Structure 1
Amino acid sequence: MPGENLTRNEAQERAALVSVSSYEVTLDLTQGAKTFRSATTVRFTAIEGASTFIDAITRAVHSVTLNGRELDPGTVNDGVRIQLNNLAASNELHIVADAEYTNTGEGLHRFVDPVDGEVYLYSQFEVPDSRRMFAVFEQPDLKATFQFTITAPETWKVVSNSPTPEPSPTGDGVATWAFAPTPVLSSYITALIAGPYVEVRSELTSRDGRTIPLGLFCRASLADYLDSDSIFDITRRGFAFFEEKFGYPYPFEKYDQLFVPEFNAGAMENAGAVTFTETYVFRSKVTDAVRERRVVTILHELAHMWFGDLVTMRWWNDLWLNESFAEYASTLATAEATEWTEAWTTFASLEKSWAYRQDQLPSTHPIVATINDLEDVQVNFDGITYAKGASVLKQLVAWVGQDDFLTGVHNYFVKHAYGNTELTDLLSELEATSGRDLGSWSRLWLETAGVNTLRPVIETDAAGIITRFAVHQSAHQDYPTLRPHRLAIAFYGEHDGALVRQHRVELDINGAITEVPELVGHPRPPLVIVNDDDLAYAKVRLDEHSAATARASLVRVGDPLARALAWSSLWDATRDAETRPRDFIDLAITHIGTETASTTLRTVLNQLLLATSHYVDPATRMETRARVGDALWQLAQNAQAGSDAQFQFVKAFTQVAHTEKQLSIVAALLDESIDLVGLDIDTDLGWELLIALAAGGRVSAAEIDAALQDDNTASGAQSAAHARAALPTPADKRAAWDSVITSTGASNTIVRATGLGFSQVNDPTVLEAFIEPYFECLTRIWESRSYSISSTIVVDFFPNQLASQRLVDATLAWLDTHPDIPALRRLVIENLAGVQRALTAQDADRK
């Protein structure tokens, strides 16, 4: 990886020398299973006499022709860059090379479907991987048009950013697709998807009267599960919403959405050709939380067509703005244009919890991060970039007003269409529409790290009347910035047996103490929520009286967003070791059975499992796990038949089940000798049950192989890898370790599945033997594998389940002796922080 890096200084120097006009890229995909032929013609202007380089990660370069002059590939090419000297004012560069397919989800990924042996290709270029498919000036501010010509089997579907042309047969079952040039784009949002994909067509009418063709694509073996009507419906709703709110018509000719195998992320915003993970093609039952997440993801990528594709950041330090805007806009669209009207509750439960967790790591950074090179970009696809950024944008909307915000965004699109921008370009438009000076706001919110904590200060007289109400703001000593917050404070009181909002004020707070005289003179209510409606980005503590109410009566808080905020506050106090983990476990077991918001339920269940496995006193952990497992099984039995809650409780139960009785229940569910009314043991749930039995030592490798024979699919292979790695003996764990660390060639999805199983242990001490091998292999793995694979290994094979001082000491020793790889160090530091937090929580649990 180090040889493939690009620094910001290099990018700035190149952008000062070069302006790119167009690319013509010709690819021959009929050359075999390892490589493909890639020919690129680039037209660009330059400062006469200057020297620079073009990016091209290749197997071999056959020819380099610059302005009719043949250059020696052996001299100018190092496999990553091609040097270009003595440039003319106007240049034409032609490069012919062999490039490699990958199985890591980077560049042009090649997948063979185990069901039917068919080959499927797709590209994934963000951040720096279009150079794996064609020669390119790989940086977002060197935009150009792209014209792709593709030779492939004539039975394939071939999709790119421009509408797919009619293929021209060339004989021997091969055809050529000559695409029209794209609009001006950054290279990382160009795309190629090719293979015998199944296609479903539709269309819509844009606000400017154009007919926009719509396409959905997936592998043939998944076609029966593609719910195209639902996806098209969400897409149409998103188009109508964004075109109205942005006041700008969809900027491209067509919109295809393609579900592709072994995808590393949720989706990618290629202009007019969005790729999605296949997990969004639901072959088995999924939770309502996952169904809603698919809606948000579809709308997130659609929002990128304007913010990111039409107008693109100049350099990756504004990556956060791309992703945060899309996340904010997609949540707004989900709440206002779809059936998922409680999307902001989901945002509070899922995105905010991710942001708060990331922002309290030692690796936290300002939203506008310092991005010195491509490795910095890779590790900054994190909760700051996505979730904190989106949370702060929500706060910005509250600060300037939604109408003024959207008007400013419209003006930004009009002024900078098909260009590159920086943060100040957007802020200047928002200042113009709102009249607010955003300079100070930007410095405090975007250029400093850390999350503030807000606590209510409430004093009452003997009759319970409030005599003083204030909000106290604090910050971590390492990140001492106090920020302005636009927020609401609400009182919740009794009404018909429920706790409902009875009074609300909205105000600006700033500094360490903000007095709120509007609330003086009111009777103290049972529950006070600071940051009602979740406008602000801050950790919020409940006052002691409100916390007692929540612990006793959380089920009676009728508003799902208010309930999610209370859950979040109580969990944050647990994570920060202000309250005992065992108390949160009791709270969750008591109240989770009546939670109606699917994502809140999913989030709290994950928190419950984390508290059980990592945060409780190790001396009581097995007893606590048994109690939690029994409680989850009881909740599953009590839940409404066929409900989302029943499904989630069963899934959580499988993750914690470990006693003989619990494992026997899992086995009985799998063989259906226990019939839980309304629960269908479908393919994927069957795998989850089998994985639980594997971790408990109740099935063999042969039984896992037999299950794979029954589900010989890509998903089945991942589940089988997970199950094998979950087998409990030291020899099983060593086999899982060797299959990834010693061997190479596994796809990232298999590596990730194996890591999940490796870390799934009932007896954490089995991982003690891997502490030293883990640290011994880190540098070698980082230097020899792709970023996608190496980062997965660094995170997923770290034995954090041990949560021991020995693990802390070994991690610190490695950090002390390896100061020179910042991106790798960051991942290790984050691993360490999780262990240290667990140890602190365990100390609190003993009190």
Structure 2
Amino acid sequence: MSVASTRSLLHTEALARRELLDVTSYDVELDLASDEARFRSVTTITFESRGGATFVDLKPVGLNGVRLDDRPLDPDLLSGGRLPLETTPGTHVLVVDAVMPFRNDGEGLHRSVDPADGRHYVYGMSFMDAAPTVFACFDQPDLKAPYTLRVRAPHDWVVVGNAPAALVDGGGQQPGTWELGPTQPLSTYFVTLVAGPYHVVRDEHDGIPLGLSSRQSLARHLDKDADELLTMTRQCFDEFHRLFGIRYPFGDYHQAFVPEFNAGAMENPGCVTFRDQLVFDTRVTRGKRILRATTVAHEMAHQWFGNITTPRWWDDLWLNESFAEYMGNRVTAEVTEYDDAWTHVSWSRRQWGLRADQRPSTHPVAGNGAEDALTALQNFDGISYAKGSSILRQLCTRLGDEVFLAGVVDHLDRHRFGNATMHDLVASWERAGAEDLSPVVGEWLRKAGPDVVRHDRERGLVLRHSPPAAPAERSHLFDVVVLTPGGATTTPVTLTADETPAPPVAPGAAVVLDPHEESWAVYVPDGETVAALVDVLPGVTDHRLRAGTWNNVKSGYAEGAIAPDAVVALAVAAFPAEDTEDTGRHTMPWLLGEVVPAAATGALERLHRAAVASLVLQQPGSELQLSAYRAGIRTASDPATLRAWLQASPDGITLDDDLRWRLLTRLAVLGGTDRAELDAALTAAESSANRVHHTGATASLPTPEAKAYAWERFTGAVEVSNYELEAAGTGMWRGGQEQLTAEYVDRYVADLPGTGAVRSGWVLAVAATAFFPASHVDAATLERLRTLLAPGVLEPAVARRVADAVDDLDRQLAVRAAYPVA
């Protein structure tokens, strides 16, 4: 189903419909046992109207019938995902009998087949515009209602959802009927269903039934991780109950790890869904475990902020995400074994938010002007999470816990199971004892873009520059750390003007601005600091300080103030193995994707030697050793090295599926393997994860056939899951293969506008990013890609992603122009 075939809800339309309607209840019957491609959905909505015309949201593949107050409606009236209704004042009952599609893009009711054993699994993702592909509804966040679901499912399936599920009919080899609810009042985007032959682990804590579930092929891995997951869940429940004094109100608390999930997780009340890559079937680093812990805590925080009290409209989405981001990280650090959670956040989230805030597409944290639901989805980014969280953390420091938490509790109590706005929250804080918060709202939440803060060594000043497009008068309170071979000196600085005296600095010392990230700004180190860090950073053992220092360097590089070769020199001297993850937002991908291609010849080999040296220095079996080994794989340029590692791993490293495919993928990039070997490796260990690895490795081969293979997935000529699609895009554009992929730059420009006909929603935008020709950093490519940004060429979701990628490409070109390689 294409977005082009439906209309996104306008904010003005949502306001009018909310003014007209109150929804009393939903009763939804789903038949999941009759067909593998589609399912019957019968929805009964009881609602009150003040009289007038409105519409119900509905995106079926077939419509059996519609009745309003026992009067049949013409199914042909359905257009653009909307069925018009004429209502009189009073109570109405709408019954919609529809046929809905099982989807494979991680939205709606997603159905997948596990290649490990052929079992089918289903889960619901109703966020944003997806709910109407599952059931008929008034799809906006401020029309809440209780839900009752009746689900017909195959006999060997388990059903879980927003309320405890009971098998009320069926048994033996016949399909069974499960009943769930009624729930507490929910927004449509929270409604979920998890159904299939899932492996389930059950427990209880403080009167709350707990559950975990995964595919059967991951059962032993879930069992292995269950104690850690349940322990964290208990710890977080106790802490949230202590902090808020409000009991969790949604009955059971089930955490379902589901296949091919787009986001990290979704906070559905009573049944949180997570991507099942968070059930670890191979060895992982501490960074990955911290990510899982903070995700668990983040989704639990949502049960209060977001689920009890929900934003009225998507422009207050930050009320959900910023709050859950702050509280999730805070609670993880304070009550779980991962007391270094804030350090991981520094490595993984800070630059994500800052880069989003520096782009032309930046937007305010609050009141971001989302005129329709799909536009709001594009603002679901690092600003909503990282920047908003940082501002809340600053505000909590300023107000103190007593006032901050009292305001939150007042907000939740006043709007229990209802909807609210940012202004409601601010009013609650002011009632709790905060002074007038309008400056915070105006300067921090309503103005887009970060201040840029620099250290002027010669003048002994810290300089603040606010965004020219939105001049601000923001004050900053943070530490300045001066690093010398003898140690570190910390001085607090309050920055209330464009120029503020800086602490004294001896020649040759490095100055790190706000390394503990107490404020929100782009911090740019001076040239002498960058040079000094090569000598002093290797001796720094404080991991939080090291992470903050690297963020100064990354910001300085993005601002064009640091040469690529200087960054490489620092990475070689102080190899960042402690940033143990190597997904897109972390240090190693940044070094390899942006810095090394702009540096002098030999930069990759220097990094490889540094990675191998770090590998040798680390304790065998440690997570730092695993991090260094992964870096060694990614930086290797000699296939013989990779072949040797395939045959015999270093002491302390076990060659599991993840590492084997990392080695094979790097061999593919270098032309050191072929399709036959990759196919054989997949056949030897068929799984959903290995299928994704295989797709990425195959697309990475330096052959015309490999690039054609990837492109068939982009255009939709070959239909694959969302994860395989993204992997194909990653493999498509490998550095060093530009001659092979040159023709696809024009094909991207030509084919991208048509992808809305073959996919929609989240995956539509993800594909645009994954297949963006990021390896072609040249002016001709930039100008070619800019033609896509002309009005009307791309759908908004895609245009936003392309505009951001074009801005990144423009910045990389600016760095190369400023620091040309001889």
Give TM-score, length-normalised by structure 2.
0.95
- Give the letter aligned to residue 72 of structure 2: E
Does residue 320 (structure 1) correspond to residue 318 (structure 2)? The answer is: yes
What is residue 481 of structure 1 aligned with on the other side? 472
- Partners of 2:771 and 2:329 in 1: CA distance: 33
What is residue 302 of structure 1 aligned with on the other side? 300
Does residue 825 (structure 1) correspond to residue 804 (structure 2)? The answer is: no
Give how far 1:491 is off: 5.0
- Give the letter aligned to residue 32 of structure 1: D
What is residue 463 of structure 2 aligned with on the other side? 472
Give how far 1:487 is off: 2.6
What is residue 15 of structure 1 aligned with on the other side? 18
What is residue 431 of structure 2 aligned with on the other side? 432
What is residue 165 of structure 1 aligned with on the other side? 166
The structure-2 alpha-carbon separation of the partners of 1:99 and 1:530, relative to structure 1 and needing over 3 Å to count, comes to: same
Give how far 1:431 is off: 2.1
- Partners of 1:246 and 1:815 in 2: CA distance: 46
Pairing of 1:34-73 with structure 2 (within 5 A): 34-48=37-51, 50-73=52-75
Q: Deviations over 1:540-582 (max 9, x none)?
A: 2335554444231112233222222211112211222111011
Moved more, 106-115 or 165-174: 165-174
- Partners of 2:712 and 2:448 in 1: CA distance: 39
Give how far 1:637 is off: 3.1
- Partners of 1:596 and 1:261 in 2: CA distance: 29
The structure-2 alpha-carbon separation of the partners of 1:188 and 1:484, relative to structure 1 and needing over 3 Å to count, comes to: same
- Partners of 1:813 and 1:600 in 2: CA distance: 33
What is residue 558 of structure 2 aligned with on the other side? 575
The structure-2 alpha-carbon separation of the partners of 1:723 and 1:116, relative to structure 1 and needing over 3 Å to count, comes to: same
What is residue 701 of structure 2 aligned with on the other side? 727
Could you tell me whether the CA contact under 8 Å between 2:131 and 2:139 is conserved in 1? yes
Moved more, 361-370 or 478-487: 478-487
Matched position secondary structure for 1:201? strand
What is residue 332 of structure 2 aligned with on the other side? 334
Moved more, 84-93 or 411-420: 84-93
Give how far 1:636 is off: 2.2
The structure-2 alpha-carbon separation of the partners of 1:547 and 1:805, relative to structure 1 and needing over 3 Å to count, comes to: closer
The structure-2 alpha-carbon separation of the partners of 1:472 and 1:167, relative to structure 1 and needing over 3 Å to count, comes to: same
- Partners of 1:171 and 1:781 in 2: CA distance: 45
Give how far 1:169 is off: 1.0
Give how far 1:832 is off: 0.9
Pairing of 1:570-719 with structure 2 (within 5 A): 570-592=553-575, 596=578, 598=580, 603-616=586-599, 620-621=600-601, 623-658=602-637, 662-672=638-648, 675-719=649-693
- Partners of 2:557 and 2:376 in 1: CA distance: 32
Give TM-score, length-normalised by structure 1.
0.92
What is residue 462 of structure 1 aligned with on the other side? none
The structure-2 alpha-carbon separation of the partners of 1:323 and 1:737, relative to structure 1 and needing over 3 Å to count, comes to: same
Give how far 1:770 is off: 0.5
- Partners of 1:603 and 1:831 in 2: CA distance: 17
What is residue 463 of structure 1 aligned with on the other side? none
The structure-2 alpha-carbon separation of the partners of 1:456 and 1:714, relative to structure 1 and needing over 3 Å to count, comes to: same
- Partners of 1:292 and 1:735 in 2: CA distance: 36
- Partners of 2:181 and 2:562 in 1: CA distance: 62
- Give the letter aligned to residue 367 of structure 1: V
Pairing of 1:175-194 with structure 2 (within 5 A): 175-194=176-195
Give how far 1:6 is off: 1.2
What is residue 6 of structure 1 aligned with on the other side? 9
Could you tell me whether the CA contact under 8 Å between 1:585 and 1:611 is conserved in 2? no
- Partners of 2:689 and 2:758 in 1: CA distance: 27
The structure-2 alpha-carbon separation of the partners of 1:734 and 1:398, relative to structure 1 and needing over 3 Å to count, comes to: same
Query: What is the number of residues matched between the two proteins?
Result: 814
Matched position secondary structure for 1:87? strand
- Partners of 2:148 and 2:689 in 1: CA distance: 35
Matched position secondary structure for 2:88? coil
Q: Percent identity?
A: 34
- Partners of 1:727 and 1:493 in 2: CA distance: 46
- Partners of 1:270 and 1:715 in 2: CA distance: 25
- Partners of 1:407 and 1:288 in 2: CA distance: 34
- Partners of 2:581 and 2:713 in 1: CA distance: 34
The structure-2 alpha-carbon separation of the partners of 1:794 and 1:269, relative to structure 1 and needing over 3 Å to count, comes to: same
Q: Deviations over 1:420-456 (max 9, x none)?
A: 0000111111223343211121111111111111224
What is residue 744 of structure 2 aligned with on the other side? 770
Give how far 1:669 is off: 1.0
- Give the letter aligned to residue 329 of structure 1: M
Pairing of 1:49-448 with structure 2 (within 5 A): 50-74=52-76, 76-78=77-79, 80-169=81-170, 173-205=174-206, 211-226=207-222, 227-368=225-366, 369-448=368-447
- Partners of 2:248 and 2:191 in 1: CA distance: 17
Matched position secondary structure for 2:574? helix
- Partners of 1:657 and 1:478 in 2: CA distance: 44
- Partners of 1:294 and 1:742 in 2: CA distance: 32
The structure-2 alpha-carbon separation of the partners of 1:614 and 1:14, relative to structure 1 and needing over 3 Å to count, comes to: farther
Q: Deviations over 1:54-110 (max 9, x none)?
A: 011101111111112111212x22361111113341111111111110000110000
- Give the letter aligned to residue 485 of structure 1: H
Does residue 788 (structure 1) correspond to residue 767 (structure 2)? The answer is: no
What is residue 32 of structure 1 aligned with on the other side? 35
The structure-2 alpha-carbon separation of the partners of 1:79 and 1:816, relative to structure 1 and needing over 3 Å to count, comes to: closer
Pairing of 1:794-809 with structure 2 (within 5 A): 794-809=768-783
- Partners of 1:6 and 1:527 in 2: CA distance: 52
Identify unmatched segments of 5+ residues in structure 1.
Answer: 206-210, 460-467
Matched position secondary structure for 1:300? helix
- Partners of 1:814 and 1:377 in 2: CA distance: 21
2:492 counterpart (495, 500, 505): 505
Could you tell me whether the CA contact under 8 Å between 1:184 and 1:418 is conserved in 2? yes
Give how far 1:527 is off: 4.7
- Partners of 1:514 and 1:761 in 2: CA distance: 44
Give how far 1:399 is off: 2.6
Q: Deviations over 1:696-730 (max 9, x none)?
A: 11111111111111121111111111111011112
Q: Which runs of 4+ in 1 moved over 6 A?
A: 522-525
Give how far 1:643 is off: 1.9
Q: Deviations over 1:360-387 (max 9, x none)?
A: 1121111121101122122112111111
Could you tell me whether the CA contact under 8 Å between 2:102 and 2:110 is conserved in 1? yes
Moved more, 219-228 or 695-704: 695-704
Could you tell me whether the CA contact under 8 Å between 1:728 and 1:761 is conserved in 2? no
Give how far 1:779 is off: 1.6
- Partners of 2:561 and 2:581 in 1: CA distance: 25
Could you tell me whether the CA contact under 8 Å between 2:29 and 2:149 is conserved in 1? yes
Identify unmatched segments of 5+ residues in structure 2.
Answer: none
Does residue 533 (structure 1) correspond to residue 516 (structure 2)? The answer is: yes
Could you tell me whether the CA contact under 8 Å between 1:500 and 1:559 is conserved in 2? no
Could you tell me whether the CA contact under 8 Å between 2:8 and 2:373 is conserved in 1? yes
Give how far 1:791 is off: 1.3
Q: Deviations over 1:233-288 (max 9, x none)?
A: 11011101111112211121110000000111110001010000111011101111
Could you tell me whether the CA contact under 8 Å between 2:579 and 2:587 is conserved in 1? no
- Partners of 2:151 and 2:658 in 1: CA distance: 37
Give how far 1:528 is off: 4.2
The structure-2 alpha-carbon separation of the partners of 1:787 and 1:39, relative to structure 1 and needing over 3 Å to count, comes to: same
- Give the letter aligned to residue 46 of structure 1: S
Could you tell me whether the CA contact under 8 Å between 1:759 and 1:801 is conserved in 2? yes
